[in-house]
């Protein structure tokens, strides 16, 4: 019984050691320089590899500022796409509102019987699905 406990403890220790090694390898692969190496690896095989090597060296010397700049550029692109989508929604809403048979003259909102009756909510929903 005692020998089986010792063997079990040895197996557990060996498993922990292997797990520690695996975690260390994963952490090495997830370091900033490793990620940048992978990203620029294919670019190195181009005629402009000197430029990429210089950029890679700059990233290795200053990884935090480069990551902050990359995050800022990503955030800017995200915001620009959101702004464009919001502008498209506003434009669709304005077009839908223009089709509503109601005169918008100042504070008075008057129903215009000469205009065909529309269902703006349903029309807008159909337009947004299209």
- DSSP H/E element including 85: helix 63-98
- Predicted confidence at residue 111, as pLDDT, reads 62
Please give the chain's pLDDT, 130 residues, in tens: 567 778 888 888 999 999 889 888 887 777 767 776 776 666 566 666 677 777 778 878 888 888 888 889 988 888 888 888 888 888 888 887 777 665 555 555 556 677 666 666 677 777 777 6
Per-residue pLDDT reduced to its tens digit, 33-55: 777 677 666 656 666 667 777 77
- Cα–Cα distance between 56 and 50 in angstroms, integer? 10
Q: Evaluate the CA torsion angle 89, 94, 98, 103 in order and state its sign.
A: positive
The answer to pTM > 0.85 is: no
Are residues 58 and 36 in contact, defined by beta-carbon separation less than 8 angstroms?
A: no
The CA-atom distances, in angstroms, between 38 and each of 3, 23, 29 are 48, 19, 9
pLDDT digits (tens, 9 = 90+) for 100-113: 665 555 555 556 67
Rounded CA-CA distance 49/42 in Å is 10
């Amino acid at each position: 019984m005692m020998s089986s406990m010792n063997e079990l403890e040895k197996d557990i220790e060996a498993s922990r050691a292997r797990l520690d090694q695996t975690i260390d390898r994963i952490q090495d692969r997830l370091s900033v320089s490793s990620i940048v190496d992978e990203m620029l690896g294919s670019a190195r095989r181009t005629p402009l590899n000197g430029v990429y090597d210089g950029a890679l060296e700059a990233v290795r010397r200053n990884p935090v500022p480069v990551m902050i700049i990359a995050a800022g550029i990503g955030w800017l692109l995200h915001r620009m796409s959101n702004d464009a989508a919001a502008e498209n929604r506003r434009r669709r809403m304005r077009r839908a509102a223009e089709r509503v048979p109601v005169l918008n003259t100042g504070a008075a909102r008057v129903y215009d019987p000469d205009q065909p009756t529309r269902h703006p909510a349903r029309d807008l929903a159909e337009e947004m699905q299209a």
